Amino acid sequence: MSTSLLIVQTLNGLQLGVLLFLIAAGLTLVFGVMDFINLAHGVQYMLGAYLAVMFYAFTGNFFFALVLALGAALVFGLLLEFAVFRHLYDRDHLDQVIATFGIILFLNQGVKILWGASPLSLPMPEMFSGSVVLMPGILYPVWRLVIIGSGLGVALILYLLVSHTRVGMLVRAGATNAAMVSALGVDIRRLFMIVFGFGTMLAGFAGIMIAPILSVEPGMGDTILILAFVVIVIGGIGSIRGAFIAALLIGLVDTLGRSFAVDILRLFLAPSPARTVGPAIASMLIYLLMAVVLYVRPSGLFPAKGR
Amino acid sequence: MAEAVLRIENLAKNFGGLRVTDDVTLDVMPGELHAVIGPNGAGKTTLINQISGLLAPDAGRIVFGGEDVTALSVDRRAQRGLARSFQITSILPRFSVLENVALAVQARSGSSFRFFRSAAAEDALNEAARGALAQVGLAEREHVPAGELSHGEKRALELAIALAMEPKLLLLDEPMAGTGRDETERLVTALRSLKGRFPMVLVEHDMHAVFALADRISVLIYGKILASGTPAQVRADPQVVTAYLGEEME
Amino acid sequence: MADAALPTSATRPAARRGLFAANALPIAIFLLFAILPLFAFRAEVYVLSLVTRVMIFAIAALALDLLIGYGALVSFGHAAFMGLGAYAVGILSSHGIHDALIGLPVALGAAALFAFLTGIVCLRTKGVYFIMITLAFGQMAFFTASSLAPYGGDDGLTIRVRSTLAGFPIFSGDRSLYYICLICLLGAYLLCRALVASRFGRVYRGARENPLRVSTIGFEVYRYQLVAYVIAGALGGLSGFLLGNATDFVSPAYMSWQRSGELLIMVIFGGIGTLNGAIVGAAAFLLVEEWLSGITEHWKVIFGPLLVLVAVFAPGGLLGLVARLRRMIRG
């Protein structure tokens, strides 16, 4: 267990955490304000990646592709909201689960039809494609630092928007008590649309930023969706601050856990059982964390609706 | 001297900085109807919630039937005979009126960890349930889904459920809240017919009902008991009159 | 939710009048299942294996409906119980133990134990938190199974010898396995019906309506829910035991969250809180899946929007839709 590995994995954990935050932020707001379980959030992340690949093929430039893909993702998300989600706001969570599950099936298959089942790749911009020396002996990819940086930047913008603008205040109020906000005469439909659109863009942005590192393939949104739900549950539904803290926590726990689980276990067990049990425990770590948090705080760490 | 069925000793509850229950001491003797009155926000429902076990007090003791129940859960207290009705109607809307009450009867007649016999076919439960319904005048409505009852009928159902528990003490949290004149009269008649069978704590705003039914009245203002005694004593107490009853009652 | 389909006591007088009529649907379903093998003719192997799968998943769906429909306990980790049952068969089989007299109790016991231990934690939460924590435990089961290298790990475990009953290979023939599953389904269905109508069921259903009210009557709601959760888990284990025998295979995928999601879809598809809906939903889901995948490899592109349409236009699932149509026809 070397310090350089520890530092690198910590940075990787931060990067995963920031990515999770981008996805979880939209999810927690939609859930908190609109009381809507959106399982399709994961495919919006996937769609962002695919759209970026497509626009890159047209333009040959990452930044153009980014902007166009964000726009297209927003349009598509609003379309989904208008065609499907709008009819389900007043419905049971179970109806929302089945509808959004159907959208997952549809889109996962859809991208397979349009782009094929093989993984695609998106080249990262030239200027960010190298590695940088952080400390003697530690080489770290620039792009991952860009992801961390842009994620923190978005978090800051979100924070400013939510706490210092009128719309942000309405969103926070809506997350605490949507009926009250509506009764006060606010156009709740427009608020929902804004929240939803923003969330979609965040998810799409996350997909675009991660695309150069991961492979873009059908179903890539499924695992991250589950992680995002774990994040918002631990953080507390409807809370952006909770999502931020929980996302970083999970990113770090998951990444560091996977890297060092075997080593840590070796302190207590013989090498062989440590090597078998280690990876299993590592994958379960975040779920164990969630179970513990929910046992102690059945509504998450910072629930918007109060405990 | 008879032993009090319920004794509350120095009960206190704070919400943040607010003293909602301030050193309340109260007792309920066998067979008496003890009314608790006071303006809105005086802490009456909070007091009932602490007695029934929904809320844990910050200090003080609750002694029921000689036993200190302060740490017991809601269901444990109910099993010992502490029944309550709710200020905001709390029934099982998709169950029929009969089944709502039969459930309460079931709680007092043996184990409910029975998995194979149909509960609806248990005549003993149904008969006892019908008895309770008859006492509140809902006998005709037994097959109606409880959610479809009128507001007053729902209040009556609440009472029937409490009765079916064969309570040793009945806590009534504003049973006449929102009921019209006829339904209020019906409830007063029903309660009067129950007087003496078991002690009751009645929280109410309807002064006519309170003075018609109560053996003793305690006045709760800002979480404190301002006065406690017979209706005549309370009516005449100048502090109470100024603080709450106003000139109309003189 | 389809109120019309819920077996409230308010409809009981009508039910007593026509016990046959009120149960026409399940009677028809079970009759259909019973005589189907006689009409399968040349497609026998295919039809039997398909309908066997339908019945197996129907058992798991029944258990899940018990939780969702009657207890408002939406479990997103139900597939874990199926997986445990199937792994019981697989692991014992790999050690040369094939007798169902050992295998079945182990399957049921393991699933029930898992349900008990996880239920203790899960039932302290409500709503979406409950959904998430059941998912978490399902995932833990999944990852544990993936790490079981001696039993196949990620690749799964082939079950070379099916269960036997005191030496008789009754699980090995297609027809006999089919009828075993049918009997198990019938038993599970009758058990669930009895449970729901019993004293226990009344408290449990009441807790779904108004848990506060039920506890102030004197019932400790947590205990009743835990018992229901364990029973549902055990039924899931039964379903898994049969599945292992039917597919001769078990893998961590049997416990994936996608599988749990599919079970939820089956129950919702049919109509929650009806028990009949669980069987109908499982059948509809698997049959539509089978039919569509025969048409195109991209069948999910059709199935997905179908689910969306069901969600938007048919709350209460297929049974709810049928009930509404009948009301419209009657005018």
The answer to whether C128 contacts A290, with C-beta atoms less than 8 Å apart, is no
| pLDDT computed for residue A282 by the predictor | 82
Within 13 Å of residue A266, how many CA atoms lie on the same side as its CB? 10
The top-scoring range by mean pLDDT among A22-26, B10-14, C79-83 is C79-83
- pLDDT digits (tens), chain C, 331 positions: 333 334 444 444 444 446 667 788 888 899 989 988 888 777 778 888 999 999 999 999 999 999 999 999 999 999 999 999 999 999 999 998 888 899 999 999 999 999 999 999 899 888 888 888 898 899 989 988 988 888 888 888 988 888 888 878 888 888 889 999 999 999 999 999 999 999 999 999 999 999 999 999 999 999 999 999 999 999 999 999 999 999 999 999 999 988 999 999 999 989 999 999 999 999 999 999 999 888 888 888 888 998 899 888 888 888 888 888 888 888 6
Q: Which of A268-272, A299-303, B229-233, C208-212 has the lowest mean pLDDT?
A: A268-272
Residue A218, domain member (yes or no):
yes
Alpha-carbon distance values, B120 to A40, B124, B137, B171, C208 (Å): 43, 10, 21, 28, 18
Q: C305 to chain A: which residues are within 8 Å by CB?
A: 102, 106
| Distance separating alpha carbons of residues A158 and A24, to the nearest angstrom | 13
The answer to whether C132 contacts A103, with C-beta atoms less than 8 Å apart, is no
Picking from B84, B98, B107, the nearest residue to C219 by CB comes out as B107
B220, B233: one domain: yes
Residue A305, domain member (yes or no):
no
Task: Give the amino acid at C254.
Answer: Y
| pLDDT computed for residue B247 by the predictor | 45
Residue C58 in contact with residue C282, Cβ under 8 Å? yes
Write out pLDDT tens, residues B111-164: 888 888 898 888 999 999 999 999 888 888 889 999 999 888 888 899 899 999
Picking from A95, A106, A277, the nearest residue to C300 by CB comes out as A106
Of B166, B192, B210, the residue that ends a domain is B166
Residue C69 in contact with residue C232, Cβ under 8 Å? no
Count of B-C CB contacts under 8 Å: 115
- Alpha carbon C12 to chain centroid, angstroms: 26
| Residue C301 in contact with partner chain A when CB distance is under 8 A | yes
Cα Rg of chain C, angstroms: 20
Residue A240 in contact with residue A159, Cβ under 8 Å? yes
Within 13 Å of residue A186, how many CA atoms lie on the same side as its CB? 21
3-state secondary structure of C256: coil
Residue A259, domain member (yes or no):
yes
Residue B35 in contact with residue B214, Cβ under 8 Å? yes
| pLDDT computed for residue B1 by the predictor | 52
Kindly tell me if the per-residue pLDDT of A49 is higher than 90: yes
Of B147, B166, B185, the residue that ends a domain is B166
Contact partners of A by the rule of 3+ C-beta pairs under 8 A?
Answer: C
Residue B2, domain member (yes or no):
yes
B40, B112: one domain: no
- Number of domains forming the structure of chain B: 2
| Residue C326 in contact with partner chain A when CB distance is under 8 A | no
Number of H helices, E strands in chain B: 9, 10
| Residue C27 in contact with partner chain A when CB distance is under 8 A | no
DSSP A162-207: HHHSHHHHHHHHHHH-HHHHHHTT--HHHHHHHHHHHHHHHHHHHH
- Which is nearest to B244 in space by CA: B18, B25, B40? B40
Kindly tell me if the per-residue pLDDT of A306 is higher than 70: no
For B219, the domain range is 1-81+167-250
A306: left (phi over 0), alpha (psi -120 to 50) or beta: left
Write out pLDDT tens, residues A129-179: 888 887 777 888 889 999 999 999 998 988 888 888 887 787 777 777 777
Q: C300 to chain A: which residues are within 8 Å by CB?
A: 105-106, 108-109
Fold of C3-330: ABC transporter involved in vitamin B12 uptake, BtuC (1.10.3470)
Residue A34, domain member (yes or no):
yes
Residue C129 in contact with residue A290, Cβ under 8 Å? no
The answer to whether B92 contacts C212, with C-beta atoms less than 8 Å apart, is no
| Residue A82 in contact with partner chain C when CB distance is under 8 A | no
Kindly tell me if the per-residue pLDDT of B11 is higher than 70: yes
Residue A304, domain member (yes or no):
no
| pLDDT computed for residue C187 by the predictor | 96
B193, B238: one domain: yes
Residue B82 in contact with residue B5, Cβ under 8 Å? no
Predicted TM-score of the model (pTM): 0.88
Q: Return the biggest CA–CA distance within chain A.
A: 65
| pLDDT computed for residue C59 by the predictor | 97
B12, B48: one domain: yes
Count of A-C CB contacts under 8 Å: 130
Question: How would residue A273 be classed by pLDDT, with cut points 50, 70 and 90?
Answer: confident
Alpha-carbon distance values, A139 to A9, A19, A211 (Å): 12, 21, 21
Q: Strand pairing of B169-173 and B82-85?
A: parallel
Residue B106, domain member (yes or no):
yes
The answer to whether B103 contacts C217, with C-beta atoms less than 8 Å apart, is yes
* Domain harbouring B23, CATH code: 3.40.50.300
Find the mean pLDDT for residues A272-288.
80
The answer to whether C124 contacts A298, with C-beta atoms less than 8 Å apart, is yes
Kindly tell me if the per-residue pLDDT of A302 is higher than 70: yes
3-state secondary structure of C281: helix
| Distance separating alpha carbons of residues C319 and C313, to the nearest angstrom | 13
B177, B223: one domain: yes
Higher-scoring residue by pLDDT: C82, A271:
C82
| Residue A102 in contact with partner chain C when CB distance is under 8 A | yes
Cross-strand pairs, B172 = B85, B202
B216, B160: one domain: no
Question: How would residue B245 be classed by pLDDT, with cut points 50, 70 and 90?
Answer: low
Copy the structure tokens of residue B44: 């009456």
Within 13 Å of residue A164, how many CA atoms lie on the same side as its CB? 6
Residue A41, domain member (yes or no):
yes
Residue B220, domain member (yes or no):
yes
The answer to whether B108 contacts C209, with C-beta atoms less than 8 Å apart, is no
Kindly tell me if the per-residue pLDDT of B10 is higher than 60: yes
Q: Which of A279-288, B60-69, C78-87, C198-207 has the lowest mean pLDDT?
A: A279-288
B153, B174: one domain: no
Alpha-carbon distance values, A56 to A53, A120, C126 (Å): 5, 12, 45
The answer to whether A294 contacts C146, with C-beta atoms less than 8 Å apart, is no
| pLDDT computed for residue C7 by the predictor | 45
| Distance separating alpha carbons of residues A166 and A155, to the nearest angstrom | 18
B249, B171: one domain: yes
CA distance to partner chain C, nearest, from residue B97 (Å)? 8
B2, B53: one domain: yes
Write out pLDDT tens, residues B108-118: 888 888 888 89
Domain ranges of chain C: 3-330
ipTM of the complex: 0.87
Task: Give the amino acid at A216.
Answer: V
Of B144, B166, B188, the residue that ends a domain is B166
Residue B88, domain member (yes or no):
no
Residue B87, domain member (yes or no):
no
Within 13 Å of residue C83, how many CA atoms lie on the same side as its CB? 29
Write out pLDDT tens, residues A198-247: 889 999 999 999 999 888 989 899 888 888 989 998 998 888 889 999 99
| Distance separating alpha carbons of residues B95 and C208, to the nearest angstrom | 11
* Domain harbouring A30, CATH code: 1.10.3470
Give the count of beta carbons closer than 10 Å to the beta carbon of residue C296.
12
Residue C238 neighbours by CB under 8 Å, 6+ apart: C59, C85, C104, C107, C108, C111, C184, C188
B37, B145: one domain: no
Residue A241, domain member (yes or no):
yes
For A175, the domain range is 3-296
Q: Strand pairing of B169-173 and B200-203?
A: parallel
| Residue A288 in contact with partner chain C when CB distance is under 8 A | yes
Residue A267, domain member (yes or no):
yes
- Which is nearest to A247 in space by CA: A174, A117, A148, A175? A148
Nearest chain A residue to C69, by CA: A94
